[in-house]
Amino acid sequence: MAPKKTILLGVTGSIACYKAADIVTALVKKGHDVTVVMTRDAEEFVAPLTFQTLSSNRVYTDMFCVPEEWDAKHVSLAKKADLIVIAPATANILGKLAGGICDDMLTCTVAASEAPVLIAPAMNDVMYRNRIVQENIGKLKKSGYSFIGPRTGRLACGYEALGCLAEVGDIIQQIEKLL
């Protein structure tokens, strides 16, 4: 068995964020240490307690909560990560990362890390095909970020199109390749 790796999972505000619970479960079963960082929008879909229970680790949602002991948490999380995975990744997070915007715990942690980053987009097909979103994806790829998906499937808007989060099994396989 490969040595235990530390994976930081970023969860953003897409309806697909419930599938991130399956990602955490699969990674923990493989023996990895998983820490989840959620955006405020993600908390509208899934409670942090879900990820805390599945990962057995504290979930981070806020840059400005008072720590029990001094620690620039976004920096310490960034340093200990062997891999950062953002699943699901919204158009919003893609734009922030591509623009170097660091206005929440997830974007600050990614910017402070030298770990590889895997991004699994999930959004409406028109949003995904949007020229600016595609430019942001291109910019991130050029900067060394890896991507998986999206795939074609039933979208939240009710029709079949490109924009669904990649299958959890495929995401796990890609994570294992990157580790």
Q: Is 157 a catalytic residue?
A: yes
Catalytic residue, candidates 17, 65, 157, 164: 157
Residue range 110-140, pLDDT digits in tens = 999 999 999 999 999 999 999 999 999 999 9
Q: Residue 170: how many CA atoms within 13 Å on its side-chain side?
A: 12
Q: Which of 19, 6, 5, 8 is nearest to 156 (CA)?
A: 19
Residue range 49-59, pLDDT digits in tens = 999 999 999 99
Q: What's the pLDDT score for residue 70?
A: 47
> Which architecture does CATH list for 6-178?
3-Layer(aba) Sandwich (3.40)
Q: What's the pLDDT score for residue 77?
A: 82
Distance, in Å, from the CA atom of 139 to the CA atom of 137, rounded to the nearest integer, reads 5
Phi-psi region of 65 (alpha: psi -120 to 50; beta: other; left: phi over 0): beta
